[in-house]
Amino acid sequence: MQQFISIQIENKEYIFNWVEGDPDFIKQNDGYFLHYPSADPETAFDYDKVIENVKNDIVICDQILGIINLMGDFGFDTKKLINDKIYQKLFWGCNLPSVTPENKYYEPIWEKREIQEMIDCISMFPEIVTKIEEVV
């Protein structure tokens, strides 16, 4: 499956072709990620809002996990960027119906160092997205 995704970074919108596979990936050409400015995205990520929230100690698990997973789709080894314990807390904090028992809800308690590690990790994301080739 393929779909166009929109990523808002530093008040700019970038649209990429995300491909589901093993592993998932973002289409590229000669090391440049392909940006489709006229495409109609099916999914949107607002990096600016996510980083603003986490810097203010507001951790919305599915949003942060979405950015971290996208970093992996862009080719970063996220296991080297974020502690597995934090990743697991984010995952379980999403409370996905497929893994969360009925009438149960998990709300992670975050330590300052964990929040700082999330900030350090996702702060690298804009650097990844700027290496693009525009497709018209």
Burial-class residue 73 by CB neighbours within 10 Å (0-12, 13-18, 19+): buried
Evaluate whether 13 touches 6 at the Cβ level (below 8 Å): yes
Confidence of residue 62 (pLDDT cuts 50, 70, 90): very high
Prediction pTM value: 0.89
CA distances 101 to 83, 95, 107, Å, are 25, 9, 14
- Return the minimum-mean-pLDDT range out of 32-36, 119-123, 126-130: 126-130
Residue 136 has a pLDDT of 64
Q: How far is residue 87's CA from residue 68's CA, in Å, rounded to a whole number?
A: 9
Q: Kindly report the backbone phi and psi dihedral angles of residue 65, in degrees, each rounded to the nearest multiple of 5, phi listed first.
A: -60, -40
Hey, how many other C-beta atoms are within 10 angstroms of the C-beta on 60?
Answer: 15
